[in-house]
Amino acid sequence: MSSPLSELLKNPQLAEQLLSEAQTRGFVTAMAAAPHLIDPSEWLAFLWGGDETSPFESHEELEAYANEIVNMWNQSREDLLTGQWHWPEGCTLDDKELVTEATRELAEGMLQGWQLSRDDWDTIMPEGSEDNALLGGVLLCFSLLYDPENAMEALSQEGADGLAQFEEIFTSVPTMLCGLTIKAQALAQEQ
């Protein structure tokens, strides 16, 4: 992954305090998928652990970072709502580890972001509804990608060809995530 965010994260002091690029992409994607728009000013601080004071040495650095995050959010939102979202560069399956570190970190960021928008999801797709099953399926996929070793074990215990199932899960995530975002957007507009 090479971007202005990558450049900012080359600063060891910032890299130590900010989510990694893949975690950030996951978190921002979760915010972009949320059924109701949440202003970035409400969640930006979560990208550095929620502290009120940002880790940036200057207002200009903070502004550059915030602009990059907003641009990432805008692109993610457009990609999700047009069915064009795909795994970012570096997020792939891996022969030894099942998924790359970037995939695992993106899944982690996605799950963190989902926690922040959980009330909106619970309201728009209440437990027991057909829509909640779609939400649950997407969250399960990201949970499996975040913890692939346990996922493989569970799939094997169910008698499934774990690796084939895992590849299927990974491949289906973009379509499922776009579908979930489009459905949530439609439900939010109906309210």
Structure tokens at 84: 């064009």
pLDDT range class, residue 160, cuts 50, 70, 90: low
With a pLDDT cut of 90, the percent of the chain lying above it is 65
pLDDT for res 118: 94
Read off the pLDDT of residues 60-77 as tens digits, 9 standing for 90 and up: 989 999 999 999 999 999
Question: What would the DSSP string read from start to end of the chain?
Answer: --SHHHHHHTSHHHHHHSPPHHHHHHHHHHHHHSSS---HHHHGGGGGTT-SS-S-SSHHHHHHHHHHHHHHHHHHHHHHHTT---PPTT--EETTTEE-HHHHHHHHHHHHHHHHTHHHHHHHS-TTSHHHHHHHHHHHHHHHHHSHHHHHHHHHHTTS-HHHHHHHHHHHHHHHHHHHHHHHHHHHHH-
| Six token digits for residue 6 | 């990558």
Q: pLDDT, tens digit, for every residue of 93-142?
A: 988 888 999 999 999 999 999 999 999 999 999 998 889 999 999 999 99
Mean pLDDT of 163-187: 92
pLDDT for the residue 158: 67
Q: What is the mean pLDDT of the chain?
A: 90
